Amino acid sequence: MLVLTRKINEAIKISDDIEVRIVAIDGDQVKLGITAPSDVDIYRQEIYEAIKAENSEAASISEDFIKLLKKNDKKY
């Protein structure tokens, strides 16, 4: 992990088209401003993890449903 020290209004660049800027510091909270192309998805980690879990569950249900369909298809 790369750890950088930045002050308010300072930024870091990720590639040519993503910038992360320190917008404000309030107690133990740091507010970040992120500039990125519209095709780049940006999520808080807990939201990203919830999306991954939901997608995994949906994929699992789909696989189970396909197995059930195949099983039922053999009966006819």
Q: Identify whether 19 is part of a domain.
A: yes
Q: Is residue 5 part of a domain?
A: no
pLDDT of 37 reads: 97
Domain membership of residue 14 (yes or no) is yes
Domain that holds residue 24: 10-73
Q: What is the pLDDT of residue 39?
A: 97
Is 58 within the bounds of a domain?
A: yes
Residue 35 lies in a domain: yes
Q: Give the pLDDT score at 76.
A: 55
Q: For the chain, how many structural domains are there in total?
A: 1
**pLDDT tens across 1-59, in order?**
999 999 999 999 999 999 999 999 999 999 999 999 999 999 999 999 999 999 888 77
Phi-psi region of 2 (alpha: psi -120 to 50; beta: other; left: phi over 0): beta
Instruction: Give the per-residue pLDDT at 67.
Output: 78
